[in-house]
Amino acid sequence: MAQIWLIAVNPDVANLLELAAGRPVTAVTLGADIPGAARQIVIPVAEGTPAEAAAPAVAEAITAEPGDIILAANRSAERVLAGAVAAKLDAPVLSGVTAIGDGTARLARYGGIVEETVSFESAVVAVADGGTTPVGDVPASETGPATVHAAVVTSTSRSDGESVNLAAAKRIVAVGRGFKSEEDLRLAEDFAKAIGAEIACSRPLSEGTEWLPRDRYIGITGQHVAPEVYVAIGISGQMQHTAGMAGSGTVISINSDDKAPMFSQSDYGIVGDLYEVLPALTEALA
Ligand SMILES: Cc1cc2nc3c(=O)[nH]c(=O)nc-3n(C[C@H](O)[C@H](O)[C@H](O)COP(=O)(O)OP(=O)(O)OC[C@H]3O[C@@H](n4cnc5c(N)ncnc54)[C@H](O)[C@@H]3O)c2cc1C
């Protein structure tokens, strides 16, 4: 029977244990206890060592055979460790895994709109949401290899950059390429203020123009949000964008093109020039 391995930098791995579906799991950790695992191999890392520096030790500890499954949470450190394990085992990495069994896995694509089934014969590294901390007994710790790169965190400080938790926002005003300049975003900011909403955007306004920070763009490769109200202004509604807001309650679109795909995703639509519609709406709400 395939053996299940788990790479864990922190104990938030309940979803990965669910993917194991009751099969015994050997966790390879950097010190965190993993409740519910059958075995726990702890890599000895000195205080202040960045998790990624333990990649050689994690790769050495996981002695997987063809057909074995190595689970890793979709977090930055675990992705690095998973990559090192995959390279050592010459194993494929599958991301967005929602189910995995002997020789077959199901993957969510395009924000869950499409599901892929993949078969494999080699060992496979499966990356999925980690979830919360599981409940269960903590197995006795075995000491793993100590082949850790010499790297140390010398200081930690809070970034000055503004960050936003869009996932918790109840109302979102999202702006797109319909805005002609960065200054014009003020129209959306005034409107958002009037309705108590957070500002978000389509990817081009964040990665193309850099008018807004990356943690504000919605979509497959951006934030996934489910506010009560989502107002899309000057956004065409490409699938890569709408995959990130499909769980929204009431969707309202403002677009000058009555054929914009965003209208088919909307409960209410205003066909019009945002430069006329937005000031009028803001004024009406004042
Ligand atoms: C691999 C990949 C991943 C991607 N991931 C994402 C992602 O996560 N999120 C994302 O958003 N995009 C993503 N994209 C990009 C995506 O395909 C679209 O290009 C992008 O979403 C379009 O942004 P937009 O709607 O702002 O711009 P456009 O498609 O250019 O639409 C602008 C809209 O504004 C309207 N408009 C113009 N002037 C006015 C006006 N005066 N008043 C009112 N309306 C007006 C137009 O009619 C048009 O509908 C990805 C693309 C790729 C290839």
- Over range 112-128, report the average pLDDT: 90
Q: Which domains does the chain have, with CATH numbers?
A: 4-143 (3.40.50.620), 166-285 (3.40.50.1220)
At 124 the three-state DSSP class reads strand
Q: Are strands 104-109 and 97-101 parallel, antiparallel or unpaired?
A: antiparallel
* Residue of the CA atom closest to atom 31 of ligand 1: 236
Q: Is residue 161 scored above 70 in pLDDT?
A: no
Q: Is residue 61 scored above 80 in pLDDT?
A: yes
Which of 182, 207, 235 for mutating ligand 1's site (highest number of atoms within 8 Å of CB)?
235
* Residue of the CA atom closest to atom 47 of ligand 1: 257
pLDDT for 277 equals 97
pLDDT for 76 equals 85
Tokens of 86: 């995959």
Q: Could you read off the pLDDT of 6-30 as tens digits, one per residue?
A: 999 999 999 999 999 999 999 999 9
pLDDT for 113 equals 67
Q: Is residue 110 scored above 90 in pLDDT?
A: no
Strand blocks (E) in 225-280: 229-233, 250-255, 268-271
Q: Could you read off the pLDDT of 179-229 as tens digits, one per residue?
A: 999 999 999 999 999 999 999 999 999 987 889 998 999 999 899 999 999
Q: For residue 65, give Cα distances in angstroms to 72, 82, 84.
A: 17, 16, 16
pLDDT above 90 covers a percentage of the chain that reads 86
At 162 the three-state DSSP class reads coil
pLDDT for 9 equals 95
Neighbours of 114 (CB within 10 A): 11
Q: Is residue 158 scored above 80 in pLDDT?
A: no
At 127 the three-state DSSP class reads strand
Q: Is residue 160 scored above 70 in pLDDT?
A: no
With a 6 Å cutoff on the Cβ, whether 11 touches ligand 1 is no
With a 6 Å cutoff on the Cβ, whether 243 touches ligand 1 is no
- Over range 107-113, report the average pLDDT: 74
pLDDT for 283 equals 95
With a 6 Å cutoff on the Cβ, whether 36 touches ligand 1 is no
Neighbours of 74 (CB within 10 A): 16
Which of 166, 184, 225, 236 for mutating ligand 1's site (highest number of atoms within 8 Å of CB)?
236
- Over range 251-263, report the average pLDDT: 98
Q: Is residue 129 scored above 90 in pLDDT?
A: no
pLDDT for 32 equals 93
Residues 224 and 110: beta-carbon distance below 8 Å: no
Asked if residue 224 belongs to a known ligand binding site, the reply is no
Phi and psi dihedrals of 15, rounded to 5? -65, -35
pLDDT for 114 equals 78
With a 6 Å cutoff on the Cβ, whether 207 touches ligand 1 is no
Q: Is residue 111 scored above 70 in pLDDT?
A: no
What residue spans of 90-212 are helical by DSSP H?
185-195
| Closest to 254 measured CA to CA, from 275, 241, 272, 279 | 272
Residue 255 C-alpha to ligand 1 middle, in angstroms? Answer: 11
Atom of ligand 1 at shortest range from CA of 218: 9
Strand blocks (E) in the chain: 4-8, 25-29, 39-42, 69-73, 93-95, 97-101, 104-109, 114-119, 124-128, 141-143, 171-175, 198-201, 229-233, 250-255, 268-271
Q: Is residue 45 scored above 90 in pLDDT?
A: yes
With a 6 Å cutoff on the Cβ, whether 177 touches ligand 1 is yes
Query: Which pLDDT band, with edges at 50, 70 and 90, does 74 fall under?
Result: confident
- Over range 160-177, report the average pLDDT: 87
Which of 180, 202, 239, 258 for mutating ligand 1's site (highest number of atoms within 8 Å of CB)?
202
Range from 96-110, 173-187, 263-277 carrying the lowest mean pLDDT: 96-110
With a 6 Å cutoff on the Cβ, whether 263 touches ligand 1 is no
Asked if residue 236 belongs to a known ligand binding site, the reply is yes
Atom of ligand 1 at shortest range from CA of 254: 43
Task: Break the chain down into helix, strand, coil percent, rounded to 5.
Answer: 30, 25, 45
Q: Is residue 53 scored above 70 in pLDDT?
A: yes
Which of 175, 180, 255 for mutating ligand 1's site (highest number of atoms within 8 Å of CB)?
255
Strand partners, 142: 41
Q: Could you read off the pLDDT of 235-249 as tens digits, one per residue?
A: 999 999 999 999 999
